[in-house]
Each structure stands twice: as C-alpha cells, then as structure tokens.
Amino acid sequence: MSKDLNLMAIFPGQGSQSVGMGKDLFENFKVYKETIEEASDALSQDLKKLCFEGPIEDLNLTANTQPAIVASSIGAFNVLKSESGFIPSVAAGHSVGEYSALAAAGVFNCSTAVKAVKIRGKAMQEAVPVGEGGMLALIGPSDEQGIAFCKWVESQNSDFSLEAANFNCPGQLVLSGNQEAIDWAKTKISEFEFEPKPRKVRLIPLKVSAPFHSKLMWPAEEVMRDHLENVDFKTPNFEVVQNINAQSTSDIKEIKENLIQQISGSILWTKSIASFINKNTESDEKSNTYVEVGSGTTLTGLIKKIDTSEIKIFNTIGLEDVKSFVEFYSKLNS
C-alpha cells in the first residue's frame, strides 16, 4: 500500500442488510460469487437466494442476518483485493462486522466466520425471548449523559435493565435492555434532567428482536466461548481495532476473548474510529480515507460525524462503487 495513504476498511454490522445486497458484485466478479458459494456450502444454506430474493422477514432473522452480512462483506473485500491488491492500513467492524474484518485480515477464513456468526446470531436471539427486550437510539445527549440516563432508569425499579450498547458517533447512542425498562424510559425521558441540556433529545425504538450488547446477552457469551475454543485463529495480516476496547492486538487469545466479551459489551465505535484519526494526526499532508466494505452506507454516515476533517469515503454497494475505489487505489500504488 502507498505510504501516502491513511486508509481504514470499515465493515458493517446488523441493520445494513437489504434484499438484493451484493447482487451487482455477484454478477460481475467471480471471486464474489465464489465467496458466497463457499459461505453457502459451509452453512448448507442458500445465501444467494436469501440475499437477493429475501423475503426481508427471513433476511432480518438474526441467525440469517449475521452470516449474510459477513459473507457479503468478505466477498466485497475479496473483490477489492483481487482487482487492486487492496491492503488497508487498519480495519474495524461494527459488532458482527468485526468477524468480517478479522476474516479479511486472515485470522480465519470465510467458512469459519459464517459458521461462527450463525451460532452467534442464534445464541443472541435465544438469550432473551422475543418481546422481552429491545434497543433504543438516544439522539442528542452526550455519551456521558446517555450513561447517566440509563443509571437513572435502572434506579427506578430493581427489575429494570438498561445499558449503553453502541457508542456510534457524537450525539448518537444506542441503549439496550429489557422491555419493562424500555417502555418506562420512553414515557419518562422528559422527566430526566440532562445537564447541560442538549439542543434536542429523541428516543427512537429500533426494529431489533433482542437487547444486543447488554448483560442480558451473557448466556450467548458462554455459547460462543464453547464454540471459539475449538476454532484456530491466525495472527492478523493488518491491524483490526476491536469494539470492546477500541484497540488492536496481534495476540490471538486476546482477539478471541474480545470477540466473546463483545456480545454483552458495548460497541465503542466512536473511540475505534478516533484511535485511527489520532494515530495519523502527526501527518499534515495525508488525509484519512475510508472504504465501507459490504452492504449499505450506515457506517459512512457515522464516519462523517466522527471524522470532521477533509476525508475521502468509498462504498462497495455496486460495480461503479468498486470501479471508483479500484481506480483511486491503483493510482496511488502505480
């Protein structure tokens, strides 16, 4: 990779899925088609049909969503690599996207990744019965204010559970907990005194089927611990910043433990991106560049709110997106 480029590959998580995702790449790149077929064979499931035809109700099932997203992201990365020799400076994946990032870095292969997240998705869904937990987006307050709000809600009733789950970007925090706490919080948020008072405060219920990244997910952690103990990990080929601590490591045991703890731990996305930004502040001539590898543009929107410098962002949704990035990257390395 060119020494004149600070480039971060970012891999999306649950919520980025849509019917038809990856179809353009599947029809135009052999390596993408081979990746989806490898993942389908590993799961004995037709991911091509699931991704391209849905229905959306099936694609949105957590046990289906997670392997579909990971396979799509690994396929997109393989396209970029085969077309341009792409190697990022560093990578990060949002929640389940961390498996995509680690697969891209060579820690394990695509088959291993999709098998793991299939088990992960099923375990996370089964940890809490449908209807007994959920997630909310808190828009406006700072991270510290969001944490204080959760503690205030929990203090109102010993049965309430509400935690800061995803630190997505400044002014956007996702909360996770049991349905009793969520229902109470929605009706009582106007009574909480945010200091200093934000310009706006909104609490938006999310269309998810479980309280991900909260202590209610502890049963799923044990399932993944049992599974990952028997999975061989390799040292990553490039840095992968992990969600649980916003740090990268080459220690295989630490990588594995971080993946396990991530299930009930918070997603430190803002800090993960900040670690990349801060690492490159000493370079006045380089601009930070990001490529969202996989379906959707969810992370692109978050990046623009975290890195307010002059940046470049690429996506990999379709053929033209890929061509644009390949042209950009190839010129830098010619």
81-100: per-residue pLDDT in tens? 999 999 999 999 999 999 99
Domains 6-127+216-332 and 133-208 share a fold: no
Question: 176: which strand partners?
Answer: 135, 163
- For 6-127+216-332, which CATH superfamily applies? Malonyl-Coenzyme A Acyl Carrier Protein, domain 2 (3.40.366.10)
Helix axes 319-332, 62-84, angle to 10 degrees: 40
169 phi and psi angles, rounded to 5 deg = -170, 165
Mean pLDDT of 67-84: 98
| Integer Cα distance of 309 and 221 in angstroms | 37
Per residue in 242-253, pLDDT tens?
Answer: 999 999 999 999
Q: Say yes or no: domain 133-208 is CATH 3.30.70.250.
A: yes
Residue spans of the domains in the chain: they are: 6-127+216-332, 133-208
pLDDT digits (tens, 9 = 90+) for 274-310: 999 988 765 555 679 999 999 999 999 999 999 999 9
This prediction's pTM: 0.95
Element (DSSP H or E) covering residue 276: helix 269-279
Which residues are part of the catalytic machinery? 95, 213
Pairing of strands 312-315, 202-205: unpaired
pLDDT mean over 166-187: 97
Mean pLDDT of 49-73: 95
In this structure, how many other beta carbons lie within 10 angstroms of the beta carbon of residue 321? 18
